[in-house]
Structure 1
Amino acid sequence: MIMAFDKPPPTPIRPTDVAPPPTTATSSATVRAELIDAYSDLARAVARIQELDADACTDSDTVHLAVEHEKLTRQMQSIGHRRLMDVADRDAWRLTGAATMRMFVANHLGVPDVKRRLDHAAALSETFTITGLQQPPELSATADALAEGAIAPEHVSVILDVTNRIPASVEIDDQVAAEVALAEHARTLSPSALRQVGVRLLAHLNPDGELTDDRDRARQRSMTLSRQDAQLMTKLTATLDPASPSGSVDDTDPDSEVVKDAAQRDSRSQAQRNHDALNALLKCVLDGGALGGSHRGLPPQLIISITETQLRESAGLGVTATGTELPWRDVVELAAKADPHLAVFADHTEEILYFGRARRTASRAQRMALFARDRGCTAPDCDQPAMHSEAHHLTDWAEGGRTDIDQLGVACPKHNRAAGPRRDQWTTRLDRTTGRVTWTPPATTQPINGPPRTRTNEIHHPDRLADRRPRHDVT
């Protein structure tokens, strides 16, 4: 209810009635009181919310409240970083009897992951130089997104991990652009999907593989079986390299001198031997045809996509149909034994990629082309690779959709069923300008006024993320 009151006529203000400007001490005292009162008001508001229930709310109300609660929780996390930095800058943690700031956070505040909380606070807070000059946060775009409540602390962990692994030799503008791109996509992606984007973004920033080399991968490969638990189950923990090792001896007799000499020179750990044994087994299964003849219309073989630029420059990473990335050297080694399929996006092939209504399912050639173009599920925020997805009719087959290459897109089974003609389903189409599949949310979620919102999936295309540059405001 809004109540209106009659206001008395304003009293003329004489110069002698104007109060003098507050002193710095008075201003500081006022701000201090306002801040303390604001937290008191917040505590009362939280207590009031705890007393209320949502039984009388509509379904839309409950969704709105859940979204608003999560947003406010994230905003409070951002403010909490400022509070931590206030304590750290003043060494105020000493007042609690703690020996260090970490002990204050762990014991006095009861924070479970102290390192993560302090790392977030340091990366997302403004700092001061030794001369008192204020510096922006290390991750400015990420700090803004968390302050808006658009991302969660788990997103911050992913962004911080990725940016910390960018080589110092990368141009500073590219480093900033990478952080901005990650912060933007964190607004729509889950932390796990964002981590995959980060891995691919790192590979794009460092196409020659300087982040890690073959020796690092060989040293870190492992596979370990834990002890049986109370249910007699055993956990398998493995760190697998991107490509299986190859090589054999002519004489496989374990008693032969060749095998004995090789065993004496073998310096691998047990975990590394387990790893190599698994790879050898998988290679035998793959080469022996034990996986059958088809999986989602594609052969059960290793399928790798790589750009013409990478072929020309002999650098970069190839991407498999399951989303695994392979260093260039591994691609070359595997290609020497491969049955290659070439996808060219021009009129350079006579392969039939247009079937109209003649057939409902996509051909193998079409699926190969879709994999090369989309790389994975095209639905927003989905990280499913092409091998776990299906050929999706952009216009539903039941509604007259055609099995033509420009009428198809990659979609995982879940999102394939989520698209259709109903009001509660997504609408898909191919953007002729960008060559990307766009998804329009259901009509039930569209704004009342304004054009419909369309979205694309950038998870499988980190090269496009790296090309983005931060936007600077013009004043």
Structure 2
Amino acid sequence: MEGVVDLLATVDKLSTVAFDDASVAELLEVQSALETVNRRVPAIQHRVMAAVKAQSSPGELGARSWADALGIRLRISHTEACRRLSEGELLGPRRSVTGEHVRIITHTMKKIPSVVDDRTRADAETDLAAVATVQTPEALRKAAALLLQLLDPDGPEPNDEDTVARREMLRNVTLGPQDADGMSELRAKVTPEFRAYLEPIFAKLAAKGMCHPDDVHPCVKGTPPAEVSAADTRSLGQRQHDALMTLARSALAAGELGEHNGLPVSVVVTTTLTELETAAGVAHTGGGSTVPMRDLIRMAGHARHYLSIFDDHTAVPLHLGRTKRIASPGQRLVLHARDRGCTFPGCAIPGYLCQTHHAETDYGGHTDITNLGLACGPHNRLVTERGWTTRIRADGRVEWIPPPLLDTRQPRVNALHHPEDLFHGNPLRRRRGRPLTFPNEFQPRPLTVPAMTHSTTRAAAAAAVVALGLFGAVGCGSDSKSDAGSSSSKSSSASSSSSTKSSAASSTKKAPSTPEAHESIADYIQESGITETSIKRGDPGPSIDLPVPEGWEATDKLPEAPYGAIVFTGSSVPDNPPRILALLSKLTGNVDPQKILEYAPGELQNLPGWKPLNEGASSTLSGFNAFQLGGNYDVDGKQGVIAQKTVVIPADDGLYVLQLNAYADESEADTLGNATDIIDQQTTITP
């Protein structure tokens, strides 16, 4: 390591050099030399990281992933850590190519039309790499644009398969961070179908005079009076904003969205009595945003209010105890008020997406509010799986203590959700303003929380499985009975992002329990004369990069998973642990991708003792269309959770079908569900 010490010493020496007397030519030479060093250092970092990976694992370091290990140890963001790891794999031995060059080449290769043959595609990548070694990123970007023009001068047809797939991949709605004035930017790239839904909504609710927030009684139904419409000076964009806000408020008020993390889906906003009375500061939502006091009062006019009592000058709740291990809805509200989000240092996950964390080592203890905190799912599991410990400080904050290899004496309390505490003496809390006049509707109502019995707890667990959209354990053209009939072939997986969860929970229909046989993908393949070829990892075809969640391990030893599998290593049912199998097939002939998705449920529906949780739901994985279904069936007289996700991947040489097959004992459904979030969010499919 002497070279590293010498490098640091040289940098320290250079930092004291005065460049005032150097000529322009000399300064440019120094700048060029420093740029060369700057480009070579990442290559060394990649080699160091490769050596670390060869000798250890994220779990041994006390982290969930290599990105987390880098982020914690180097004090960089998760995004930056992921970027470094990704570019380390892409850069290879190149020394003069920067990360920006790599991103341009990767983006360009994805935009090459699917009709371009493999040889031309490879030549294009070689040409771009050659340009990158001698040109700036700007020059490479222009060369890449010209290359795309030459490869496809007429552009894609509006309805060809490649355009449709790209359109589905580009769909996106992103809610940006709040600005200093509390405003947020909403960016969207919507599909033709989504636009078709928005058009009549805007035509009705965004008309002049409709949904005006300044009106005492805004018109949200029927037709507004002519004088109200004439007096409406809002722009079209402002009216469309107010229309969407009205639609969102109505959806929440209807109470048909079910529960999320132990609370009805609703807006959770916390503030203090002092701030309300003095119009000081801002209120905090369970999503991590802030709401001005005046807006809060308007929202509160039609809301149910709760009161949490904390010790003066601290965040210690005075009372809200419970003898059960499961936190009550009332306790969850108190945690929203105190923690606002995940308490792990540096984690920005808001309260809506957090679980209740027990900050004690004795798992037989009471679930008292003074022993609870909020934590996102991955960080909640660090305590039991990765050597982290937690405790409640005297001021009520949750403190996280890392394992030795990750302990750099970094702050152990998360300040992201409490920026006001970063100011000496909390000046934000000392601000005072004029008193507010509360509307008559602002009358707090008492909190009524139903008792959480064993039966309702089990029901809640079952509902969570539905929302996770588990996908089950059979193959594309396989015999479902033989695949699921023995424990050695059972595997588990689940998939759904947070947005998919709420959609699936609210839109899926109750499945019929019919005894007749259902047509499956295997039937469709046989009847249509389609040729099916099993694809193993490394064979020509798309590359499927499945993440390995913490506590799971990858294996290629299962014969029923030719593309690989991951297995949960800490199962309480060691002879039948949760498993996730990946099967990839290439279908050639007259193949209709929609038919594949249409017949996807059939194999699970034909299982003995099949008890569906719903009819399944359309979804996506890494931008490709998919269908997922989950339920229960009898395994040697015991109930097992089984599910399946089928993904269609169009290609020039056929249609590739990925099936992620899952199985878990009913007692480990939560373990299965926790892994599926990571799979849905981090899986990458490269055609």
TM-score, with length taken from structure 1: 0.48
Name whichever structure is richer in helix by fraction. Answer: 1
Name whichever structure is richer in strand by fraction. Answer: 2
